[in-house]
Chain A
Amino acid sequence: APALAQGTKLKVGALRFTSHSPSFIALERGYFAEAGLDVELEFFQAAQPMAVAIASGDVDYAMTAISGGLVNLADKGAIKVIGGALSEEPGIDGQKILASDAAFQEGVTAPGALDGRRFGMTTAGSSFHYMGSKMAKAEGIDMTFVPLQKVPAIIGALKTGQIDAWSIVPHIAKPVASGPEVHMIGSVVDYLPDYQVTTIFTSTENAGDRALTEGYLGAVTRGISDYNSAMIDRAGGEAGVDAMVDLIHKYVYTDRERERAAPSIINGTMRINEGATLNVASVRDQLEWFQSEGLVDAGISLDQLIDGSFVETVGS
């Protein structure tokens, strides 16, 4: 992107999750610098404040699941979705549906048996709410959704059998289900085969700056390619995985030794859309679901939410 002045300052929001690896890679391997961007990572504890930080201009680009809050901010003209990241894809280990031991003992060994039971979520309008709803609809069952604000509270409630089920990304699902208190009973991908889990988004203002956004996306897509090829296609063999784990470990599970962190990093591997392709069909489905639940204004159009002009889109 030659249009960019060298050393354009940029803040990229991230969570300390493996799914944010493309940003780490692009930074570590100098892809941002090559695009003329001087990137600083800004870490968050949760996705919701990241969306607000984009709106307030504290952060320029970030990656997170589509939530009611994000849609509302888009409605206020503050942010735009400009690309896709994590996707559910048949055949690849994706998000898991978990059940508590108590429910499991009572026969909840598959999602279809969750009729009348309690499903955990952070807040109304979160991706957990969406996944649970779609699953319930597909199974033709009714569930109560219990808002618990934070992931730890959900885990606590699940382990003690106070909620019956939950869905979550594999690198959290696997360690949680490794104990006797929680069981894995299904995969989200079975209900939402092409679910666009996370998206790349930015402020409306940045989306108007084509050179900047293209520069950013260009660098991130290189990170995505590196990640997919090393971790999923194993193009570099074990050595490639090791090198990538080393790189990611600088940002994720930093408080554990590398030996203990590596399995968790590898466990968390999910495919990220090559070229940040955006599955518009999935996004539309999510938007319509939010609207049908009354969580966002029914008048919001897809165009207010996404700017599909930067990346390849499917399903539009």
Chain B
Amino acid sequence: MFVVAPLLAPEAAGEAGLPVDVTPLADLKRRRLVIYDNLQDLEFEYKAGKLAPGDYQALRRDYTAEAAQLMATSQDLEVATAEDSWIEREVAVRRARRNALPAPDYTCPKCGFENPLPVKFCGECGARIRPAKKQG
């Protein structure tokens, strides 16, 4: 009973319960945090006298550069994601607008044939057609 009970319960929303840790942005951020941690250690070791000044400066520069590189990738990615989401949004807006418009009616005013596709001339009698708003 104890084991089967969850199966009978309604399915919870989506995959929130299954952790995902490798989205590109999150991974970049994680790697930066690791570098900050390394920098902190480096600073401490230098203050403790474990590192020669030359080593300290070179390493510090390298770590900072690494972090900057990751930051740059991250920002590019953010821009790209922002663009993507803008495109998505735009598409969604247009799709919504299109769907909101009533579908035009291509019924031939001359012979009364209901053309199934948007056409300029009637498929049945060849008379010119101007799309009209469908009624009722």
To the question of whether A and B form a pair in one complex, the answer is no
A residues with CB within 8 A of B: none
Interface on B for A, CB 8 Å cutoff? Answer: none
